[in-house]
Amino acid sequence: MLKLFNFNMETKSFAIIGLKVSTSIIIFATLFHRLLNPYLWLDESVQFWVSQGLSPFAAPNSYRNGVGMVLEQNRLNNLDPGGFSLILHYWVSMSTDYRWLRFLPTIFFFGGLLTFFKLLKKLKVGGFWIYFTAIIFVFGPSVSLKTSEVRAYSMEFFGIGLTLLAAHSVLRSANTKNLLFFLFSGIFTMTSRYDGIIFYLSLLPFIIIHISNGNLHFTKKLIYNSILTIFSFSAIAVIYFNQTVYQNSSLKAPGYLRTISNNPTLIFEKISLGYLLILSSIIYAAKKQKEWQSSEFKKLILRSLIVSNLVLVILSTLGKLPWAPLSPQNFSLYVPTILLMIILTSRNLLEVERLKVRVLIFFAAMMFFVFTSQHFHTLKVLPVLDPYVNVLRNVEKVESKSFLVDCTEVPSIRYLIEFGALHQKFAGTYPKNFELRGSNTCSENRAFNANLDFEIVIPGSRIISYDLVNYNSLTENQRLWISKVN
Please tell me the pTM assigned to this model. Answer: 0.85
Q: Hey, which of 287-296, 306-315, 362-371 has the most confident mean pLDDT?
A: 306-315
pLDDT at 11: 54
| Closest of 367, 261, 275 to residue 317, by C-alpha | 261
**What are the residue ranges spanned by the domains of the chain?**
2-36+79-379, 387-483
| pLDDT-wise least confident of 123-137, 348-362, 396-410 | 348-362
Rounded average pLDDT over 290-313: 89
pLDDT at 455: 80
| 3-state helix/strand/coil string of the chain | CHHHHCCCHHHHHHHHHHHHHHHHHHHHHHHHHHHHCCCCCHHHHHHHHHHCCCCCCCCCCCCCCCHHHHHHHHHHHCCCCCHHHHHHHHHHCCCCCHHHHHHHHHHHHHHHHHHHHHHHHHCCCCHHHHHHHHHHHHHCCCHHHHCCCCCCHHHHHHHHHHHHHHHHHHHHCCCHHHHHHHHHHHHHHHCCCHHHHHHHHHHHHHHHHHHHCCCCCHHHHHHHHHHHHHHHHHHHHHHHHHHHHHHCCCCCCCCCCCCCCCCCCHHHCHHHHHHHHHHHHHHHHHHHCHHHHCCHHHHHHHHHHHHHHHHHHHHHHCCCCCCCCCCHHHHHHHHHHHHHHHHHHHHHCCCCCCHHHHHHHHHHHHHHHHHHHCCHHHHCCCCCCCHHHHHHHCCCCHHHCCEEEEHHHHHHHHHHHHCCCCCCCCCCCCCCCEEEECCCCCCCHHHHHHCCCCCEEECCCCCCCCCCCCCCHHHHHCCCCEECCC
pLDDT at 125: 83
For 79-128, the pLDDT digits (tens) are 899 999 999 999 999 999 999 999 999 999 999 999 999 999 898 887 77
For 21-60, the pLDDT digits (tens) are 777 887 888 888 888 888 898 889 999 999 999 988 888 8
Residue 333 banded pLDDT, cuts 50, 70, 90: very high
Rounded average pLDDT over 276-284: 87
| pLDDT-wise least confident of 118-127, 221-230, 285-294, 473-482 | 473-482
